[in-house]
């Protein structure tokens, strides 16, 4: 099952395992560095059907840190195109890009310098959000976005989508989760606006749907378009599964090909408890209610659990990240158990007898 092909939109993936975006905080002026070539070539060589590059900012102040990938100018487009072609030339793998805006979660230190900490004033920039609500004590209060700024944000997402297409990406994933700007509009925890972008669920979804609708117009139908959404905030009075189902149905109607169900992130500390495939129940409920191709991530490390996620129709495919870095042979080990010789390179066949 998990090694079977899957059709997403008009695109066939060779199996149902996708490498999830992982922020590397190793870019230079928004462009990929030598680390990205090493890191992504390795990931693209491990048997997955597609790899999705890390959260990439649609504008300069949409970065999380100064070292984020960006795609808002010609040079960044050129450098990402070179990287995309390099990966495809070396491996039989589809390549996707996740695009995002950090909002109030931006202007932060790289996590290995100071985890979950805003930058000092000398290196910081003014952050924006749906409402002037700080992320947590000690974080700066973001500027509430005006209607005009919201309109310009939509344009920024569209321009980045066009650049991603020109750079040769097979898949585009719009990031609406993990506490970033679109999630900040979606969640009542961070959004107390009283205009058309706040209050009722249809208003809190408005920006997310406007961006998706405009991207759908410019992103080719022959390529994959997805969205990472929040299934629950894991906090009181936050996003719940009903909100996620509402959003998913609307996204499907616009023409999204899949949703990636995540959770948490709107605050640094929530009631989220991690265990093996801990988002599987949330993902299944959203999948069944919205009738859209669904994936999820989060502590999917056991082969049998991964296989059962597909067999039990919790999701249609899985996205993994840390698992495959910790164990680069993870997919080949599944192939060995299932006697799937086509997944394992013939040069490695003697190893996985």
pTM of full prediction above 0.95? yes
* Cα separation, 229 vs 94, whole angstroms: 22
CATH number for region 6-327: 3.20.20.70
**172: alpha, beta or left, given left = phi > 0 and alpha = psi -120 to 50?**
beta
**208: alpha, beta or left, given left = phi > 0 and alpha = psi -120 to 50?**
alpha
Q: Kindly state the tokens that stand for 344.
A: 């394992």
Q: CB count, 10 Å around CB of 265?
A: 18
Our CA dihedral for 257, 262, 266, 267, rounded to 10 degrees, sits at -170
Nearest by Cα to 145 from 200, 197, 206: 197
Q: Which residues lie below 8 Å from residue 205, measured CB to CB, with a gap of 6+?
A: 186, 246, 247, 250
Q: How is the chain split into domains, by residue range?
A: 6-327
List per-residue pLDDT tens for the chain, 353 residues long.
999 999 999 999 999 999 999 999 999 999 999 999 999 999 999 999 999 999 999 999 999 999 999 999 999 999 999 999 999 999 999 999 999 999 999 999 999 999 999 999 899 999 999 999 999 999 999 999 999 999 999 999 999 999 999 999 999 999 999 999 999 999 999 999 999 999 999 999 999 999 999 999 999 999 999 999 999 999 999 999 999 999 999 999 999 999 999 999 999 988 888 999 999 999 999 999 999 999 999 999 999 999 999 999 999 999 999 999 999 999 999 999 999 988 999 999 889 88
* Cα separation, 4 vs 49, whole angstroms: 10
Nearest by Cα to 232 from 197, 208, 267, 193: 267
* Cα separation, 279 vs 262, whole angstroms: 7
């Amino acid at each position: 099952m998990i090694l079977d092909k899957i059709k997403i939109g008009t695109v066939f993936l060779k199996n149902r395992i996708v490498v999830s975006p992982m922020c590397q905080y190793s870019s230079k002026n928004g462009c990929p560095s030598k680390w990205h070539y090493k890191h992504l070539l390795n990931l693209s060589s491990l048997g997955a059907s597609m790899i999705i590059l890390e959260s990439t900012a649609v504008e300069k102040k949409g970065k999380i840190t100064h070292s984020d990938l960006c795609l808002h100018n010609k040079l960044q487009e050129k450098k990402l195109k070179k990287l995309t072609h390099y990966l495809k030339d070396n491996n039989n793998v589809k390549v996707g890009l996740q695009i995002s805006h950090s909002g109030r979660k931006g202007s932060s230190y790289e996590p290995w310098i100071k985890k979950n900490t805003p930058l000092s004033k000398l290196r910081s920039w003014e952050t924006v959000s749906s409402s002037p609500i700080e992320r947590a004590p000690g974080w700066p209060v973001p500027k509430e976005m005006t209607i005009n700024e919201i309109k310009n944000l939509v344009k920024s997402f569209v321009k980045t989508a066009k650049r991603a297409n020109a750079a040769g990406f097979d898949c585009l994933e719009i990031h609406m989760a993990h506490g970033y700007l679109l999630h900040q509009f979606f969640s009542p925890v961070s959004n107390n606006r009283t205009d058309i972008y706040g209050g009722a669920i249809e208003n809190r979804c408005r920006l997310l749907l406007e961006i998706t609708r405009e991207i759908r117009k410019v992103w080719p139908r022959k390529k994959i378009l997805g969205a990472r959404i929040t299934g629950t905030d894991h906090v009181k009075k936050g996003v719940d599964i009903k909100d996620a189902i509402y959003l998913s149905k609307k996204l499907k109607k616009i023409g999204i090909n899949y949703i990636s169900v995540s959770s948490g992130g709107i605050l640094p500390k929530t009631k989220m408890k991690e265990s093996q495939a801990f988002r599987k129940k949330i993902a299944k409920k959203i999948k069944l209610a919205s009738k859209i191709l669904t994936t999820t991530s989060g502590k999917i490390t056991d082969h049998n659990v991964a296989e059962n996620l597909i067999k039990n129709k919790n999701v249609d495919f899985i996205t993994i990240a840390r698992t495959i870095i910790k164990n680069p042979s993870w997919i080949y080990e599944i192939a060995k158990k299932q006697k799937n010789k086509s997944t394992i390179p013939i040069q490695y066949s003697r190893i996985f007898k």
